[in-house]
Amino acid sequence: MAWRAASGEHSIEQAIVSVFHAKSLDQNGLDLLASHFGPAVASYGYNERIIQKSANFQIVFGPTGIGGSNAPKLDQHLFRKAIDGRLHAEIVLAEDQIVFISHNYTRWDPMMSELTGILKAIGGVLFVGGGLTDVRLEYIDRFDLDDDGEAVPLLNPEGTLAPPLLRFETGSYHCHVGFFIRRPALAPVLVNANVDVVMKTPGLRDELPPGIRGLARIHTMAGPRGPADDDGRGFLQLEPVLDVIQFDHNYLKSVLGDLLHPRLVEKIKLNPQPLSAWSAQ
């Protein structure tokens, strides 16, 4: 049995980049940003625009525990790119963040180039909320287990992040690891990696795709900083924000490279910098 990337050429099922406003926008600020986003994204194929109603109730994590808030939230603006009826990407404008979501990831360079072009086209309107205070980058990688080819395990037996007890596990499991790193020009930020493996189990209802004996999803994420670390000041220029996004991309490649078996890393042509190399920088 061999694990393989679900897409064939790479393993990324979804890539998400979020940039956060230093201060939440009011309705006028959000509408102004949306009015400039429309023309800026149209040239990249985002031709569908949706106004999405936001729920008034939201879960709040605070020093006294988890609670709820009935504070009103502004409606979100969604811009979507579809090709042949299939959703490829979408951009979400919310009062506190801008989210870029790739549903049909090919390579990092085209995604970063498109993201950069759109943000540069917005210009100074991007900073109506007092600047951009932080970013978050997320990847969801998917691997399928089938009966073809040479047996390739999922996890790296020599890595530092995968729990030793799970490196040779053949059943379903979930594991999580989190730790802090220091980004350029920003306070320490939390990096998370979640591994979820679901195996076909005799006697239970089969919810896996036909021909698949197992499915694994690895969710890696860097950022954002917690509220206690936020000094309220945002970036007033775009270049430092882009530098952090590129840094996160390179770092999360190293995280995935440490988690995955070396033969699987080679198969998906990840080419990561060793995780241990970052500690020397």
Are residues 92 and 196 both part of a single domain? no
* 279: in domain: yes
The pLDDT, as a whole number, for residue 228 is 40
Q: How far is CA 29 from the centre of its chain?
A: 26
Query: Rounded distance, CA 17 to CA 61, Å?
Result: 22
Contact yes or no for 145/212 (Cβ under 8 A): yes
pLDDT at 247 over 80: yes
Are residues 43 and 94 both part of a single domain? yes
Angle, alpha carbons 124-129-131 (nearest 5°): 65
Out of 68, 98, 128, a domain closes at 128
Q: Which residues contact 114 (CB under 8 A, 6 or more apart)?
A: 44
Contact yes or no for 184/244 (Cβ under 8 A): yes
pLDDT in tens, 62-87: 444 555 555 557 889 999 999 988 99
pLDDT in tens, 43-56: 999 999 999 877 65
pLDDT at 213 over 90: no
- For range 14-42, the mean pLDDT: 92
pLDDT at 32 over 50: yes
* 43: in domain: yes
pLDDT in tens, 156-180: 999 999 888 787 788 889 999 999 9
List % helix, strand, coil for the chain (3-state, nearest 5). 25, 35, 40
* 69: in domain: yes
Question: Structural domain of residue 39, as residue ranges?
Answer: 24-128
| HSE-up (13 A, CA, CB side) for residue 56 | 3
Mean pLDDT of the chain: 84
Are residues 163 and 259 both part of a single domain? yes
Q: Which two tokens stand for residue 6?
A: 């679900």
Are residues 31 and 111 both part of a single domain? yes
Contact yes or no for 21/132 (Cβ under 8 A): yes
pLDDT in tens, 107-159: 999 999 999 999 999 877 888 777 888 899 999 999 998 766 566 789 999 99
